[in-house]
Amino acid sequence: MLSVAWWTVFTIAGIWAQRFVPGVDFLAPGLLLCIQLERKTLFFWLLIVWSLIQEGLGGLPFGYSILWYSSIVALYRCGAMFFDVQSLMFAILCGAGLGILHPLLIGMMAVLADMQWTADRYFLEGVLQFLIFPLEWAFLKYIYPERLKHEFSA
């Protein structure tokens, strides 16, 4: 129950952070942490709720956040073959991957939806995502309560 409360507070804090830094996903580092903690049930619910939040906020047809969050899972799976996926280095690589992916994904989805877009803004947001992702992940890992790591582990 405490775990649900913690993630709810994190979600609200993430939404507020997104309000001040447009175009950056502040919830994504939480998802990586959740995968690293191997909390499958929690991951599933967070994925659904956060996808709905990001899709509700976004201006593209439904689908961006599915690919966006799936890419974190894919990066984790691929990264597990070569790196220590619990390390800060992997979080930096994951941030870089998402930073590159952001303008590409927006561009692809905008083309599919027959919308006009300018790349400059999204490249800048990609850079911000790359910078913010590992820092936020490290902060989350630091503040995540030890006792919650063992609460209803799935």
Residue ranges binding other proteins (CB under 8 A): 11-12, 15-16, 18-19, 22-25, 28, 49, 51-68, 70, 102, 106, 109-110, 112-113, 115-118, 121, 125, 129
> CA angle 124-50-47, nearest 5°?
110
Sorted by sequence, the CB contacts under 8 Å of residue 14 that are 6+ apart come out as 26, 27, 30
Of residues 24, 21, 15, 14, the one with CA closest to residue 99: 24
Q: How far is the CB of 118 from other proteins (least distance, A)?
A: 6
Reported as type and span, the H/E element at residue 5 is helix 2-20
Q: How far apart are CA 130 and CA 134, in angstroms?
A: 7
Q: How far is the CB of 146 from other proteins (least distance, A)?
A: 27
Q: How far is the CB of 69 from other proteins (least distance, A)?
A: 10
Quick one: 81 or 150, whose CB is closer to other proteins?
81
H-only helix segments in 37-87? 40-57, 64-82
Quick one: 1 or 118, whose CB is closer to other proteins?
118
Helices 88-112 and 28-36 cross at an angle (nearest 10°) of: 130
Q: How far is the CB of 142 from other proteins (least distance, A)?
A: 24
Quick one: 3 or 129, whose CB is closer to other proteins?
129
Q: How far is the CB of 62 from other proteins (least distance, A)?
A: 4
Q: How far apart are CA 103 and CA 114, in angstroms?
A: 16
Quick one: 140 or 151, whose CB is closer to other proteins?
140
Quick one: 4 or 67, whose CB is closer to other proteins?
67
